[in-house]
Amino acid sequence: MSLIILKIGGSVITEKSSISRAKDAEIDRISNEIVSFKKDSDSQLILVHGAGSFGHPQAMKYRLNEGFDAKGAYLTHVSVKELNSKVLESLNNAGAHALPVHPLSSCLLENGKIIDFQVGHIKVMIEKGIIPVLHGDVVMDRIKGALVLSGDRIIPHLAIALNASQIGAGSDVDGVLDNNDAVIKKITQYSFVDMRKNIKGSGSTDVTGGMLGKVSELLELANKGISSRIFNASRKGVVSRFLYGEDVGTLISDK
C-alpha cells in the first residue's frame, strides 16, 4: 500500500495579508481534487497544511520564537485549529473521511528538534481509509517551553516514521525556479551541486532559506528512497495531477 503525504502551503488556503482569513473556495477546490482521487485509488493519504494568516499573526505578536509565552501559545493554537476545522469540514463535506491530528497534542520538541511524535493513531487512520489532517502548530518544547512547528518540519518526520512512498509540496509557485523563472524539472543530489547557484533567489540568503532549505530537506528524504514534488497547488487541477502521478512541478529524486 503506497502512502502519499500532501502538504498544502498556508499561502494557498489563506489570504496571507489579512488576519485569520481563509480562502474557502480554494479549500473546497482542493478538497474535491483530493476526494476524486481518493475514490479512484487505494493509496493512503496524509494531508499537512500550513497556517498562513492563521496563527502566524499571533505567533509574531507574542514572539513565540523568542521565548515562552503561555497566552501567545494558546491564542496561536486556537487560530491554527480554526483553519484546520475549516479544512476538515470541507474534506468531510466533499465526501472524504478525514480526522484532525493536532501537533500540540501529539508532539514534543527539545530545543526545536522533534523528539516525540506519536504516529500509532495516524497509522490506524490511514489503514481505515481516513485522511489524517495535520498542520503547523505551537508545540511544547522541553527546553524552550513552546515553539512554532511548521508543516514543512512535520513532513520529513512523518515520511520516515510511516515509510511514505511520495511527498507532494503544494505551494503558490510552479516548482523550483531557475534564475530565468523556468521550472527546474528534476533535482537529484548529483545535479543539485551544480544547479544550486542557478536556483532563483540563491543569491539572497533571505529568499533562499525558503526554497533552498526545502530542496535540501527533500533531497535528504530522496536519499532514503522517498521522492517528492514541489508544485503549484494554487493552479486548478495540479493537486489532482500530482496525486495521479503526473509530471508536475519539480521532481526531487535519488535517481
Residues near a copy of itself (CB under 8 A) are 68, 70-71, 73-74, 77-78, 85, 88, 92, 97-108, 115-116, 118, 120-121, 124-125, 128-130, 139-142, 145-146
E strand segments, 93-194: 98-100, 107-110, 113-117, 131-135, 137-141, 145-149, 166-171, 186-187
Residue 137 C-beta: closest distance to a copy of itself, Å = 10
Task: Give 68 or 192: the residue with its C-beta nearer to a copy of itself.
Answer: 68
Beta carbons within 10 angstroms of residue 19's beta carbon: 13
Residue 192 C-beta: closest distance to a copy of itself, Å = 36
Task: Give 147 or 176: the residue with its C-beta nearer to a copy of itself.
Answer: 147
Distance, in Å, from the CA atom of 78 to the CA atom of 62, rounded to the nearest integer, reads 14
Task: Give 125 or 187: the residue with its C-beta nearer to a copy of itself.
Answer: 125
**Neighbouring C-alpha atoms within 13 Å toward the C-beta of 54:** 27
CA 111-113-114 angle, 5° bins: 130
Residue 138 C-beta: closest distance to a copy of itself, Å = 9
Residue 102 C-beta: closest distance to a copy of itself, Å = 5
Residue 116 C-beta: closest distance to a copy of itself, Å = 5
Beta carbons within 10 angstroms of residue 95's beta carbon: 13
Distance, in Å, from the CA atom of 137 to the CA atom of 34, rounded to the nearest integer, reads 23
Yes or no: say if 91 and 35 are a contact pair by the CB < 8 Å rule: yes
Task: Give 147 or 187: the residue with its C-beta nearer to a copy of itself.
Answer: 147
Task: Give 99 or 183: the residue with its C-beta nearer to a copy of itself.
Answer: 99
